[in-house]
Amino acid sequence: MAEKGMIIAIDGPAGSGKSTVAALLARRYNYINIETGAMYRALAWKALETGVPLDDEAALADLAGKSRIELQAHPNGNRVLLDGNDVTERIRRQDVTEAASKVSVHPKVRAWMVQNQRELGAAGGIVMEGRDIGTHVFPQADIKIFLDADPEVRGARRFLQNPTTHLKETAAADLRERDHRDRTRANSPLVPAPDAVIIDSTHMTLDQVMDNIVEVIEARRNAAQK
């Protein structure tokens, strides 16, 4: 009998490397990679486009309810479709990054996102990456990884990803502000699940991080087969 696909939850702050790691894990295990941050970004982009205020929880929840957000697997990474339109590049803009952080504090917006994320991941065989996957979306996930790194290192990584639109100092300052909002919001703040494996990648290469995670996954698979 084929092994049932696992649910692998990868949480952590911006710039911790979780998107890269999630994409590599999905490729390695032939799983679907679900970037939940892209879903918050897509809604934030729509709010900016349609003039819905970022502090109006009811209007944002209503907007979410009328939206269709899809993640399509492509060889060069997921494409993000909002109401059938490809918004993959647009949602990486700095104003959208800021707006996503603001819309994600609202409990009603989060409830809509979580419900959709649970449906997307229900069948297993997924790597889901975000801030609250191990604590809230899939508390029963087979594997929970919390990736972290010092803020300076994360800021530098973000700057290298997008050097044209960001001054290095701005990247670090933006990141600190978003971190603070993510970690202190009342609803599903960014915290490691009690049973998550915490990996601090400050002084690690990507290969070392991957080796660590694959070891955790293989140990779990072996235990499940016994």
- What are the residues binding ligand DC (CB under 6 A)? 14, 36-37, 40-41, 100-101, 104, 130-132, 178, 182
Q: Which is nearer to ligand DC, 98 or 223 (CB)?
A: 98
Closest contact distance (angstroms) between CB of 190 and ligand DC is 7
CA-based nearest residue to 116, from 39, 187, 6, 26? 39
Q: Which is nearer to ligand DC, 132 or 148 (CB)?
A: 132
Question: For strand 32-35 and strand 197-200, is the pairing parallel, antiparallel, or unpaired?
Answer: unpaired
Q: Which is nearer to ligand DC, 192 or 221 (CB)?
A: 192
- Residue 11: φ, ψ to 5°: -120, 160
Closest contact distance (angstroms) between CB of 15 and ligand DC is 9
22 neighbors 12 (Cβ within 8 angstroms): no
Closest contact distance (angstroms) between CB of 224 and ligand DC is 26
Please state, in angstroms and rounded to a whole number, the distance separating the CA atoms of residues 185 and 183: 6
Closest contact distance (angstroms) between CB of 129 and ligand DC is 7
Residue nearest to ligand DC (CB): 37
Tokens of 167: 């001054």
Closest contact distance (angstroms) between CB of 176 and ligand DC is 12
